[in-house]
Amino acid sequence: MTINVYCDADPDNSYDYIITLGESEDLWDLPSQIYKLEQWLETNIGKLNKGSYVADIGFTVREDATGGGAVLNRKMILMLHQIGMEIYFSEYNFIDEV
């Protein structure tokens, strides 16, 4: 699982790296990723000033997916808005390798 978090610190739209979440875990499904980001936001929301942030979530389609999936709940949306964070979704196609 990888979620890379960046901050837009420059006027030329280059992003500064903040952290990678879950890089040692082998969970690439979107629900796990959303949950991991929500946990990190809950822990760190007080440490982040309002700005321009990006969380790039790398994920694969769940092997036995038949519907349902991740939810960006109101609590998380409020935290994202509070600090000015956008979510990018980067889908990878290597489910057989994971």
Report the DSSP pairing between strands 53-59 and 2-8: antiparallel
Number of Cβ within 10 Å of residue 61's Cβ equals 14
98 vs 1: CA distance, rounded Å: 10
Q: Say what the pLDDT of residue 1 is.
A: 66
Number of Cβ within 10 Å of residue 68's Cβ equals 8
Contact 79, 45 (CB under 8 A): yes
Local structure of residue 73 (DSSP, 8 states)? -
Q: What is the pLDDT of residues 23-69, one digit of tens each?
A: 777 888 888 899 999 999 999 999 999 999 999 999 888 777 777 78
